[in-house]
């Protein structure tokens, strides 16, 4: 999965569908599920003595959603886009926006084998 923790994403399907970019809090199940801030909110009822709520009650928490229901938000395109991998001139592997071809982040350090001469 090309989505990483901290990336801004747009929810494309489900009850929380919107064009507002939201950060990814956690990537689960080998990239198949993600927890996105403010999406898929549920109540968890807990008894007294729970570490997060000593007095008991209802905890509001985010549950994971399928990674197929989100798209990466490119700040330059101002839209949800697909990501790709490529090697730059130095031989570093990077993630890039497939729409505007800008680099998002570097994934691995430079390797001479993939450097363009």
Tens of pLDDT, residue by residue over 48-107, are 988 988 999 999 999 999 999 999 999 999 999 999 999 999 999 999 999 999 999 999
User: What would the pLDDT profile of 4-62 be if each residue is shown by its tens digit?
Assistant: 999 999 999 999 999 999 999 999 988 899 999 999 999 999 999 889 889 999 999 99
Q: Would you call 110 exposed, middle or buried from its count of C-beta atoms within 10 A (0-12, 13-18, 19+)?
A: middle
**From start to end of the chain, where are the E strands?**
8-11, 22-28, 33-36, 41-46, 57-62, 65-66, 70-74, 79-81, 83-87, 93-97, 103-108
Structural Rg of the chain based on CA atoms:
18
What is the residue extent of each domain of the chain? 1-81, 82-117
- What topology does CATH give the domain 1-81? SH3 type barrels. (2.30.30)
Q: How far apart are CA 88 and CA 86, in angstroms?
A: 6
List, in sequence order, every residue forming a beta bridge with 96; answer none if it has no partner.
84, 103
pLDDT score, position 7: 95
């Amino acid at each position: 999965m090309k989505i990483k923790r901290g990336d801004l994403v747009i929810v494309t399907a489900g009850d929380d569908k919107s064009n507002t970019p939201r950060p990814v809090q956690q990537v689960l199940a080998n990239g198949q599920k993600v927890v996105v801030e403010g999406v898929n909110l549920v109540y968890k009822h807990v008894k007294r003595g729970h570490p997060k709520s000593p007095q008991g009650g209802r905890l509001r928490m985010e549950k994971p959603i399928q990674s197929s229901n989100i798209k990466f938000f490119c700040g330059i395109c101002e839209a949800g886009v697909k990501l790709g991998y490529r090697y730059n001139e130095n031989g570093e592997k990077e993630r890039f926006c497939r729409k505007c071809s800008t680099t998002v982040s570097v994934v691995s350090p430079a390797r001479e084998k993939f450097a363009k001469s």
